[in-house]
Amino acid sequence: MATADEKNLDGGTEAAPLRIAVMGAGAVGCYFGGMLARAGHEVVLIGRPAHVQAIEADGLRLQTRGFDERVRVGASTHVGAVEGASLVLFCVKSTDTEAAAQAMRPHLGADTLLLSLQNGADNAERLRTLLPQPVRAAVVYVATEMAGPGHVLHHGRGELLVEPGRGGDDWAEAFRAAGVPVAISDDVRQALWVKLILNCAYNALSAISQQPYGLLVAGAGVTDVMHLIVRECVAVAAAEGVELPADIDASVLALAGSMPGQRSSTAQDLARGKSTEIDHLNGYVVRRGRQHAIATPVNQTLVTLVHLLESGRGAG
């Protein structure tokens, strides 16, 4: 039985701080890691030297619409910093999933729970083939970016839809108390596909044009092309046994209205001369389509165009 001292003001039981490692201190990792550290959890952000040095010197700058604060949080360039964590937020790009998992593997506790906070439909599945620990997929609804070393800029949202599974759900209440809404849902596979379809419709077109979504959808013929992309994705999803909501086309169009100023993460990667996740977005649909003998020419064309732009800009 909890004593009065162990109770929150709202009557909930105050839990012990969680020990959380964030693998991949980029836009998503710094936002969620920063929110949890700000709420008093013991967080270490594992990332590249420029971010780690800035965070060690001045804390993580967490800039949201509601506040702009320096958050004291652990930071390391060493993957071994996952040691002792009960929870790992896995936040590297889908292209880095295998390399980061293999590097973490010797340092993870047997029961450490990994949450994959990544776009793409199969990251958790890929992690499960490499790690014996509990791994659960999370669909991430957030708009955030790194504005500079150790500086994360949050544009909106920030909720997680997590699949049920091994590792328990006690952490979820701590996330909610830290301002990170979490829902545990049996429909994560469907939700991952819905997110994948949004990414297929927007990411490559925004990347090729370097346009934010509001301008993009106003372009001549753009919503017609999006419709073709979505039709191919829906056909592949059906062959995979994934039933999609009937209003998927409306959801796709609605994204531009809810984030008119946002450029896709693929657009941001290209602009920085980095390689993109395109093979795990439209490229995934093309590969799964091939397995089911479903042609996906529009998605295939987008993959090729993005790869051409990557090679043209020396991305790597």
Ligand X SMILES: CC(C)(CO)C(=O)C(=O)O
Ligand Y SMILES: NC(=O)C1=CN([C@@H]2O[C@H](COP(=O)(O)OP(=O)(O)OC[C@H]3O[C@@H](n4cnc5c(N)ncnc54)[C@H](OP(=O)(O)O)[C@@H]3O)[C@@H](O)[C@H]2O)C=CC1
Tell which one of 20, 91, 114, 198 touches ligand X (CB under 6 A): 198
Interaction of residue 33 with ligand Y, rule CB under 6 A: no
C-beta closer to ligand X: residue 97 or 203: 203
Tell which one of 56, 96, 98, 159 touches ligand Y (CB under 6 A): 96
Tell which one of 144, 264, 282, 296 touches ligand Y (CB under 6 A): 144
Q: Which stretch binds ligand Y (CB under 6 A): 80-88, 140-148, 171-179, 207-215?
A: 140-148
The closest alpha carbon to 37, from 100, 1, 89, 105, belongs to 89
C-beta closer to ligand Y: residue 138 or 286: 138
Interaction of residue 92 with ligand Y, rule CB under 6 A: yes
3-state SS of the chain is CCCHHHECCCCCECCCCCEEEEECCCHHHHHHHHHHHHCCCEEEEECCHHHHHHHHHHCEEEECCCCEEEECCEEECCHHHHCCCCEEEECCCHHHHHHHHHHHHHHCCCCCEEEECCCCCCHHHHHHHHCCCCEEEEEEEEEEEEEECCEEEEEEEEEEEECCCCCCCHHHHHHHHCCCCEEECCCHHHHHHHHHHHHHHHHHHHHHHCCCHHHHHHCCCHHHHHHHHHHHHHHHHHHCCCCCCCCHHHHHHHHHHHCCCCCCHHHHHHHCCCCCCHHHCHHHHHHHHHHCCCCCHHHHHHHHHHHHHHHHCCCC
Tell which one of 18, 20, 22, 27 touches ligand Y (CB under 6 A): 27
C-beta closer to ligand X: residue 82 or 252: 252
| Residues in 233-292 that interact with ligand X by CB under 6 A | 262, 264-265
C-beta closer to ligand X: residue 133 or 268: 268
Q: Which stretch binds ligand X (CB under 6 A): 56-64, 163-171, 197-205, 286-294?
A: 197-205
Interacting partner of 276 out of ligand Y, ligand X, none (Cβ under 5 to 8 A depending on kind): none
The two beta strands, 135-148 and 151-162, are: antiparallel
Rounded Cα–Cα distance for residues 32 and 215 (Å) = 29
Interaction of residue 56 with ligand Y, rule CB under 6 A: no
Tell which one of 19, 33, 82, 118 touches ligand Y (CB under 6 A): 118
Per-residue string for binding with ligand X, 98-127, x by CB under 6 A?
---------------------x--------
| Minimum separation from the CB atom of position 11 to ligand X (A) | 36
| Minimum separation from the CB atom of position 50 to ligand X (A) | 22
C-beta closer to ligand Y: residue 35 or 79: 79
Residues at the interface with ligand X (CB under 6 A):
119, 143, 198-199, 202-203, 262, 264-265
